Amino acid sequence: MKTANILVIGGGIIGVSLAYGLAERGEQVTVLDYGKGVNNASRGTFGLVWIQSKGLGMRRYAEWTMEAAQLWQRFSEDLSEKTGIAIDYKKQGGFEVCLGETEWSQRKVVLEQLRTESSTGTYDCHMLDHQAVQDLIPEMRLGEAVFGASFSPHDGHLNPLALLTALIASLKKAGVTHYLDQQVESVSYRNDCFEIKTAGENFSAKKVVLACGLGIKVLAQQVGLEIPIRPQRGQILVTERAKPLLPYPFVTLRQTQEGSFLIGSSHEDVGLDTGTTLSQMRNLAGHAVQIFPELARLQLLRCWGALRILTPDTKPLYVESDTCPGAFVVTSHSGITLAPLHANILSKWILEGVTPEGFEQFHPKRFDA
């Protein structure tokens, strides 16, 4: 049986961010990654570091995303220094476009609610009309349907696969044991220790962190936790490469460092199906062309589908088991945005039991009837 002080189950962005932070604190960490599952959300993400709209109805989450955004530049630089891998992080601000006056008015109400809910009465995101948006992106003509957009200077984007690669490389440098193709079958707790079984190996650990996306639900029950999560499919289109035209990311559209445009993303309740559909491809492409008519000239190269992992209110869930102390669950559909906090604050919580202010808001008891 192989042993570890802390065993992280899940090798996606959340799992490796946690392992990275734990290793930075000098902890002996093992990561188990199934690796070949088509449901891996980290390989299908859009690559946004985003704060707009997040936290409506939960002030701590709005603050949490802002804290993460403020740490991202340093986090990115540290990863690049350690691994030599550029993740192409850029923070120039971002837009959420409004097609028509109704969408613009609804969006304005949301920002006002976020401003009202904040502890300071402020929310650093503001509404722009059509011309103000156009002035910021002079090289791409906005479509007539664009009434305006909200803009936050704290939003940004990056290469998500490069981020995942850099985090995994940093684990190797830190001496973290990283097992691939290890699907966990069971987790048991006895004598203040956890036993974890996979198809080919047995492991023991003093603490275990469940960060394996849709695999959390079944394993969490084995350590006394009921975790309400569900899958939601998102499809993304990729165009051919073009010259740099769009310096700012939009929540459904961005140009990568290589020049391709990513167009997304749908919100489909289709269970575990990660396929693609012609109808959604048409919807996504049509919406993108309404924003920027020039995109109609670009050839679409491919489309993929991936599954988000959502709680009932779409906000993060962090909890330690009462019946099996030392067993933790970490899940959020904002794994990229929150990566610096997962590596820093959550690693301290897991190691030392230091609970951040307002952390109780992320507990699953909020879903109790």
d(CA 362, CA 318): 6
pLDDT per residue as tens digits for the range 264-299:
989 999 999 999 999 999 999 999 999 999 999 999
What pLDDT digit, counting tens, does each position of 177-225 carry? Answer: 999 889 999 999 999 999 999 988 999 999 999 999 999 999 999 999 9
234 with 218, same domain: the answer is no
Q: Do residues 236 and 302 share a domain? A: yes
244 in a structural domain: yes
Among residues 291, 310, 329, which one ends one of the domains?
310
Q: Are residues 302 and 328 in the same domain?
A: no
Strands (DSSP E) along the chain, which ranges? 2-9, 29-32, 48-49, 94-99, 126-129, 146-152, 156-157, 177-179, 184-190, 193-198, 202-210, 230-239, 253-255, 261-263, 300-310, 317-320, 327-331
Total domains, the chain: 3
pLDDT for 135 beyond 80: yes
Give the pLDDT of residue 150: 98
Q: Is residue 316 domain-shared with residue 220, that is, in the same domain?
A: yes
- Ramachandran angles phi, psi of 360, nearest 5°: -60, -20
Sign of torsion over alpha carbons 203, 209, 213, 216:
positive
The answer to whether residue 86 sits within a structural domain is no
Q: Within this chain, do residues 120 and 267 fall inside the same structural domain, yes or no?
A: no
Rounded to whole angstroms, the Cα distance separating 364 from 227 reads: 7
101 and 167 part of one domain: no
Question: In CATH, what number is assigned to the domain containing residue 65?
Answer: 3.50.50.60
226-270: pLDDT as tens digits: 999 999 999 999 999 999 999 999 999 999 999 999 999 899 999
Q: Same domain, yes or no, for 223 and 237?
A: no
What pLDDT does residue 60 have? 95
Q: How confident is the model at residue 38 (pLDDT cuts 50, 70, 90)?
A: very low
CATH of the domain at 274: 3.30.9.10
> Which of 310, 327, 355 is the last residue before a domain boundary?
310
DSSP string, 282-350: HHHHHHHHHH-GGGGGSPEEEEEEEEEEE-TTSS-EEEE-SSSTTEEEEE-S-TTTTHHHIIIIIHHHH
Domain that holds residue 249: 230-310
* Residue 41's pLDDT band (cuts 50, 70, 90): low
What is the rounded end-to-end Cα distance, in angstroms, of the chain? 42
- Indicate if 77 and 188 belong to the same structural domain: yes
In a domain, 88, yes or no: no
Same-domain pairing of 305 and 316? no
Domain boundary among 135, 152, 169: 152
Closest-CA residue to 133 (of 286, 292, 259)? 292
145 in the same domain as 31? no
Same-domain check for residues 180 and 323:
yes
CA dihedral (161, 163, 164, 169) positive or negative = positive
| Whether residue 7 is found in the same domain as residue 141 | no
